[in-house]
Amino acid sequence: MNIVRVIFSELVGMFVDDGYLALLALILIAAVTAAVKLLALPPLPGAYLLLAGCLVILLESVRRAASRR
């Protein structure tokens, strides 16, 4: 049973290295999706918003990683 736990942990680690980064990305995707679907935001500005949000999240993640070192 321990080997299954190790394999699962490694698989999750391949896709989610920084949990905070993944959580913020999911929140951003949900917020932009809601804005496009519920608030009738046109898809192209929604895409720009998604791109800008991802860049901000990535820069924040890099900044936090650099401050830890």
Residue 9 falls inside a structural domain: no
The structural domain count of the chain equals 1
In a domain, 54, yes or no: yes
Domain that holds residue 40: 17-68
Which segments in the chain show pLDDT lower than 50? none
Whether residue 24 contacts residue 57, with contact meaning beta carbons closer than 8 Å, is answered with yes
Task: Kindly state whether residue 57 falls inside one of the protein's structural domains.
Answer: yes
Tell whether 58 is covered by a domain: yes
Asked, for residue 49, whether it belongs to a domain, the answer is: yes
CA–CA separation, 41 and 44 (whole Å) = 9
Other beta carbons within 10 Å of 10: 9
In a domain, 53, yes or no: yes
| pLDDT of res. 48 | 97
Decide if 42 is inside a domain.
yes
What is the b/e burial string over 41-67, where b = at least 16 CB atoms within 10 angstroms of the residue's CB? Answer: eeeeebeebbeebeeebeeebeeeeee
Instruction: Identify the pLDDT of residue 34.
Output: 96
Q: What is the DSSP letter of 1?
A: -
The pLDDT score that the predictor gives to residue 13 is: 74
Q: What is the pLDDT of residue 69?
A: 77
